[in-house]
Chain A
Amino acid sequence: MISNRDSKTGQALFEYLLRLGDDRLVLGHRLSEWCGHAPILEEDIALANIALDCIGQASNFLSLAGKVENKGRNEDDLAYLREAVDFRNVQMVEVPNGDFAHTIARQFLFDVYSYPLLDELQKSADGEIAGIAEKAVKEDRYHLRHSSEWVRRLGDGTGESHDRVQNAFEDLWTYSEELFFTDEVDDILVAAGIAPDLALIKKAWEEMVAKVMKDATLDIPGNDRYMAQGSRNGRHSEHLGHLLAEMQIVHRSYPGVKW
């Protein structure tokens, strides 16, 4: 089943799976904060549903990461016992939720990245990744439909909703470039047919973002601003430490017990 997991590929694969898993774990965590506090009951349900999918995907990717690493760590060890600098998610998913427009804009920018990525990963030379992606891509299709519909609704709704979601995109744009960061991890895995070339995903992302934002009467923010970087190598915002403190508190307070 598993493709070449010699030490170099294996190490790259472990890193790559952390990136996939951590993005979805941290995003799912943020989304779950809405549960019980959303603007309409239907969104309490929808956001919880998406959070659930994200954490489920994260659990699968992290579980596989543990297997690949082969040091006896499972998905919970990886989620609950690593420090912020060991996390590999992009900063976009760790920033606080902000208002509903901010949450939707973030979700949209991420979904447009995640959906084509998972779509490509279904063809991965690594059968286990392909299997996880096959299930996840169906969930992401729904996530993307949900977030893009809301971008249209807010963009072309009222003056206030338009301004709020436009501002959200301006704020989040800083974090958009990181989604497409590549290094030797990608080089190794692309060469091995395990991961797709992110340059292709980026093209699909740009087209889809442009299309939906145009429909929504929104302006695409310019790139002449500070662009966040470094989180794929553990350089995060200060927000992640607080998020993890909350997430990990119970697990770490009672080491080694069954829950």
Chain B
Amino acid sequence: MDDDAKLIEFEAKIKRGEKIEPKDWMPERYRKQLIRMMSQHAHSEIVGMLPEGNWITRAPTLRRKMGLIAKVQDEAGHGLYLYSATETLGIGRDEMVDQLLEGKAKYSNIFNYPSLTWADMGVIGWFVDGAAIVNQTMLARSSYGPYSRAMLRICAEENFHKKQGYEIAATLALGTQAQKEMVQNAVDRYWWPSLMMFGPSDKDSPNTPLLMKWKIKRKSNDDLRQRFIDLTIPQAQRIDLTIPDPDLKLNKKTGHWEFGKINWDEFYEVIRGNGPCNKERMTARRKAHFDGEWVRIAAEEYAKKRKTNHSNNN
């Protein structure tokens, strides 16, 4: 069968709603787009450990400390799981990690913002994991089998993270004046960057049509963003926090919240590396990687020795 015929079969399969599995034929662009998206997603889980890891040692109660460690540990697990899912496309974890450390691969912009107070641990869980859920619920229906299954599994945990984050935020919002100010400040800082997590507007998102046609993505960036906003605003109202957007307005006809203009210049600046924490995040990841090199080599060497000893004994 030539590639044209294979492509027709591939697209027919997708149209029928069947999953594409690692051994199935797929167009090179499908594979490339998936590797880009999935590895980016894995990197985001890993870099995402940093802003929250930043508060583990200062968590204000033992229960909160445990909750936060467990959450950051989950994110590491998501990263691991996503790296293995991406490996089914024929790329190794080492190569993906190198791409991240060399600055060739991206990760979610949101993690280039600093975590400044304990309240950020609430608002990150609430907004950032909340946005991740909206995105991942859609990706759980992705046409690529391993990605879709990874999303199903991960999303259950993200739901728990969001609940925990909202509970932290709510506790602060209903607490003393100082606590309330702390959490409002975090909302003010994280709202707009959270909206940018869904990526550029559809008209500026060149990959979207193909990704949608091949059902890698099932909804557009703007649709997902709208869904996140519609879900989140009532949650903020319930605990009396103000969303920092004077243009917010419920459109009674559509049932959707209309919102103000997103600062896309900021978005592109951060992508280009000029965000508040881009340098720190990459420095931290590189340091962990290079400081740990001797450990990885030792583990490999030890495994090799064990293998030879084993075969010598047989």
Contacts and interface: CB of A to CB of B under 8 A. Distances in A.
A binds B: yes
Interface of A: 25, 29, 32-33, 35-45, 48-49, 51-52, 55-56, 58-59, 62, 75-76, 79-80, 99-100, 152-154, 156-158, 160-161, 164, 246-247, 249-251, 254, 257-259
A250 B49 contact: no
A249 B291 CA distance: 29
The majority secondary structure among interface residues of chain B is: helix
B72 A161 contact: no
B66 interface: yes
Interface size range of chain B in the complex: 35 or more
Contacts of B196: none
B298 A52 contact: no
A80 B305 CA distance: 47
Interface string B185-223: 000000000000000000000000000000000000000
Interface of B: 46, 49-50, 53, 56-66, 69-70, 72-73, 76-77, 79-80, 83, 118, 168, 171, 175-176, 178-179, 284, 287-288, 291-299, 301-302, 305
Given A35-B73, A157-B298, A158-B294, A41 B57 contact: no
Nearest to A41: B80
B294 A48 contact: no
A213 B194 CA distance: 50
B70 A35 contact: no
B61 A35 contact: no
Contact of A164 (B61, B76, B294): B294
24 contacts: A25-B62, A32-B56, A35-B76, A36-B53, A37-B53, A40-B295, A40-B299, A44-B49, A55-B62, A55-B66, A59-B63, A59-B66, A75-B62, A76-B61, A99-B291, A100-B292, A156-B305, A158-B301, A164-B294, A250-B60, A254-B179, A257-B179, A259-B60, A259-B168
A59 B77 CA distance: 25
The 4 A-B residue pairs with the shortest CB-CB distance, nearest first, are: A39-B292, A157-B298, A161-B298, A39-B295
B171 A259 contact: yes
Contacts of B168: 259
A257 B175 contact: yes
B112 to A, nearest CB: 15
Nearest to B50: A36
A29 B59 CA distance: 11
Contacts of A33: 56-57
Contacts of A153: 298-299, 302
A52 B74 CA distance: 12
Given A45-B80, A52-B69, A258-B171, A39 B288 contact: yes
Nearest to A243: B57
B294 A55 contact: no
Contacts of B66: 52, 55-56, 59
Contacts of B291: 39, 99-100
Contacts of A43: 292, 295
Nearest to B56: A32
A91 B118 CA distance: 29
Contacts of B299: 40, 153, 157
B178 A41 contact: no
A218 to B, nearest CB: 13
Nearest to B57: A246
B267 to A, nearest CB: 25
Contacts of B76: 35-36, 41, 44-45, 48
A212 to B, nearest CB: 14
Contact of B296 (A39, A45, A49, A62): A39
Contact of B46 (A29, A41, A51): A41
A28 to B, nearest CB: 8
A251 B57 contact: no
Contacts of B297: 157-158, 160-161
B186 to A, nearest CB: 14
Given A36-B288, A52-B70, A257-B179, A45 B61 contact: no
B128 to A, nearest CB: 16
A259 B186 CA distance: 16
A76 B79 CA distance: 32
Nearest to B299: A153
Given A42-B80, A250-B59, A254-B176, 10 more contacts: A36-B50, A40-B299, A41-B83, A43-B292, A55-B65, A55-B66, A157-B297, A158-B301, A246-B58, A251-B60
Contacts of B70: 48, 52
